[in-house]
Amino acid sequence: MADLKPHLKGVLRPDFQWGYATAAAQIEGAWNADGRGESIWDKLGHTPGKIKDSSTADDACRSYDFYKEDVALMKSYGVRAYRFSLSWSRIIPLGGKDDPVNPKGIEFYNSLINELLANGITPFVTLFHWDIPQALEDRYGGMLNLEKYTPDFLRYARVCFESFGDRVKNWITYNEPGVYSLAGYAAGVHAPGRSSNRELNEEGDSSTEPFIVSHTELVSHAHCVKMYREEFKPTQKGTIMITLHGNYSEPWDAEDPLDIEAAERAREFEIAWFADPIYKTGDYPASMRAQLGDRLPRFTEEESKLLLGSSDFYGMNTYTTFYVKHKKTPPELTDHLGNVEKLENNSKGVSRGTESDTYWLRTCPWGYRKLLNWVWNRYHVPIFMTENGTTAKGEHLDTPPADPLNDTHRIEFFNGYLNALASAVKEDGVDIRSYFAWTFTDNWEWAAGYTDRFGVTWIDYKSPERKRYPKRSAGVIREHFEHYIAKE
């Protein structure tokens, strides 16, 4: 049941936005319907051995077909807003600046947006949630090529602003640029599947490519925001931001200055990597330059200027916390964490939280509150929570309803995190303006396939229509926001 704190009633602003977040590649299906082009995730999904349960996202949750039912279900959950992403290759199948636009793709997103608005749900739209058109990867190596990629991304963004910007007032350029580059170019387990590990990937260099790709994301983000602000904002009057990933890093030994330093360094490698250039200095953190030297690209003076202030708000995705211990050996070439070890327990043997069904994710509400404070104190930019949620042990079983619908682990997670959020607003003075839970329905969790269920709605993947069953957590989240949001 919802654990509501009476002393925190009404602490969230009356215009606080809440709802669920999704991504096109994880839910839509219809991967080659109505003129849609191939994305790098279609390619990876169709390559044997790359996805844990050998599944593809060809059909996923079939949200392309059942978007009206989904909007109705979301409405019944009481949401005010919905965050979803656009599939670039549905809109421009080959992706490039001179390639044709697919009218059917535009039509689909127009229908979805109109359906949301007709039901009083505010759209928050992400332009890029990891699914670059495969054609651009084939043509010039995608984001490894800043010069060629940027005009293509800008043209795609322009088509979106022109087609939907009369109704969409909340734009997100990139979703988790850091996870895109680390999982895709350092670990090599996400698309496009590149790394230094030759047992896993034929090509790639984990010591350089993640930094090059991230640089491309940052620079193209900045150009996109400039374009929006100059050409669209004056008439469309929307806002634009970027969403960054970031879990919290807590020292393994709270008394050891080296662990305290290591935890701060880990936060900088994970979060300030993207956030400092945008919200603080126009450049990467000194700790990264010190360790990476010339492997970390440099911004031109013009790019720095363009980046600083290039996001109206801080878009935050976060899930968990790790204990962080310093390493005594020099950093390896493939290190991306700041030369630290990430651990489950601290020096006193205290665990970072209850396990979920996902190896990296444990419930840690106190770490979440610390993270909110760290971001707020470092950047002083209002925070939009754009993702937060969990899987629950045992839920991946194929046999549905009865038990999975009573998702106590997920309910405890949301109780903890939503109370931490309300406390951070009321007691720590952090400015938080939205909360999108991840996620609306179970969906295709990238390389983990359908095994990781993050939804507040159970999906029966065996039924042709991917039948949806609400879990109890959906009602609990609603109770929280009814309690915490101030009445106008």
Residue 171's CB is within 10 A of a number of other CB atoms, namely: 27
| Rounded least distance, CB 319 to ligand NOJ, Å | 7
Is 387 a known active-site residue?
A: yes
| Rounded least distance, CB 131 to ligand NOJ, Å | 10
Question: In sequence order, which residues have a C-beta less than 8 Å from that of residue 392 and are 6 or more positions away?
Answer: 356, 357, 404, 407, 408, 409, 410, 453
| Rounded least distance, CB 211 to ligand NOJ, Å | 20
| Rounded least distance, CB 453 to ligand NOJ, Å | 11
Question: In sequence order, which residues have a C-beta less than 8 Å from that of residue 90 and are 6 or more positions away?
Answer: 24, 28, 34, 35, 36, 37, 102, 105, 108, 109
Is position 217 an interface residue for ligand NOJ (rule: CB under 6 A)?
A: no
Residue 209: both structure tokens together: 């490519």
| Rounded least distance, CB 23 to ligand NOJ, Å | 5
DSSP state of 12: B
Q: What span, in angstroms and rounded, lies between the C-alpha atoms of 101 and 118? A: 26
Residue 461's CB is within 10 A of a number of other CB atoms, namely: 17
**Using CB atoms within 10 A of its CB, is residue 377 exposed (0-12), middle (13-18) or buried (19+)?**
exposed
Footprint on residues 298-317 left by ligand NOJ (CB under 6 A): 317
Q: Where are the alpha helices (DSSP H) in 229-307?
A: 233-236, 257-267, 273-275, 286-292, 301-307
Per the residue annotation, which of 28, 264, 270, 387 is the catalytic one?
387
Residue 177's CB is within 10 A of a number of other CB atoms, namely: 26
Footprint on residues 66-85 left by ligand NOJ (CB under 6 A): none
Is position 387 an interface residue for ligand NOJ (rule: CB under 6 A)?
A: yes
Q: What span, in angstroms and rounded, lies between the C-alpha atoms of 385 and 432? A: 7
Strands of the 248-251 sheet, one edge to the other: 248-251, 321-326, 340-343
Give the binding-site size for ligand NOJ (rule: CB under 6 A).
Answer: 8
- H or E stretch covering 181: helix 177-185
| Rounded least distance, CB 374 to ligand NOJ, Å | 19
Per the residue annotation, which of 28, 38, 176, 264 is the catalytic one?
176
| Rounded least distance, CB 358 to ligand NOJ, Å | 7
Footprint on residues 432-461 left by ligand NOJ (CB under 6 A): 438, 445, 454
Interface mask toward ligand NOJ for 4-43; x: CB under 6 A:
-------------------x--------------------
- Closer by beta carbon to ligand NOJ, 137 or else 445: 445
Residue 399's CB is within 10 A of a number of other CB atoms, namely: 9
Q: What is the identity of the amino acid at 136?
A: L
Q: At what angle do helices 103-118 and 146-164 cross, to 10 degrees?
A: 50
Is position 250 an interface residue for ligand NOJ (rule: CB under 6 A)?
A: no
| Rounded least distance, CB 387 to ligand NOJ, Å | 5
- Closer by beta carbon to ligand NOJ, 268 or else 387: 387
* Angle CA 40–42–46, to nearest 5: 115
- Closer by beta carbon to ligand NOJ, 390 or else 419: 390
- Closer by beta carbon to ligand NOJ, 70 or else 176: 176
Q: What is the identity of the amino acid at 83?
A: R
Footprint on residues 394-413 left by ligand NOJ (CB under 6 A): none
- Closer by beta carbon to ligand NOJ, 274 or else 454: 454
- Closer by beta carbon to ligand NOJ, 250 or else 387: 387
Is 176 a known active-site residue?
A: yes
Footprint on residues 155-184 left by ligand NOJ (CB under 6 A): 175-176
Which positions touch ligand NOJ (CB under 6 A)?
Answer: 23, 175-176, 317, 387, 438, 445, 454
Residues catalogued as catalytic: 176, 387
